[in-house]
Amino acid sequence: MTTKIVIGLDGTETGERAIGFAKDLAERIGTCELLVAYVIEWSPYTFQTPEENAQRHKRREEEIVLANERVVTPAVDALKAAGFNVTGIVRHGDVAETLNAITVENGGSQIVVGRASADGIKKRLFGSSTQNLVMHADVPVTVVK
């Protein structure tokens, strides 16, 4: 059976550290598949005008293309060049919920993310995505500093 590790990227240097940790872990495990995931924070609870709703789908598709081009594809290409079995995925949604869903859907056994925190009032009201992921994930979560 192949172990699957999901790497949650956010486009920052913490994501690069998460990739490094996941590579080391995958090398130790042996037969391992990596899944690089990028979640574009999106709330279904935003209130928009009818004109904004008409453009929403187009904007979402453009965001997915940009995230793939700028974050996921370079990471996947680098991991493949290093000899890893890897795929990439980009989705919209709540970061913690969506990373967990991606992991469950793909039979992942662990999630690796870099530590990044929200600032100020947002963190006090909602917590960070990393905190929410650690508290609610269906599999172990490794947070890399």
Q: What is the pLDDT of residues 17-64, one digit of tens each?
A: 999 999 999 999 999 999 999 999 876 556 667 777 667 778 888 999
The encoded tokens of residue 18 equal 């998460």
The pLDDT-based confidence of 122 (bands split at 50, 70, 90) is very low
* pLDDT exceeds cutoff 70 at 126: no
Q: Where are the domains of the chain?
A: 7-120+128-144
The answer to pTM > 0.95 is no
Q: How far apart are CA 88 and CA 56, in angstroms?
A: 23
**CATH number of 7-120+128-144, picked from 1.10.150.80, 3.10.20.30, 3.40.50.620, 3.40.50.300:** 3.40.50.620
Distance between CA atoms of residues 49 and 42, nearest Å: 17
Confidence of residue 73 (pLDDT cuts 50, 70, 90): very high
For residue 2, the SS3 value is: coil
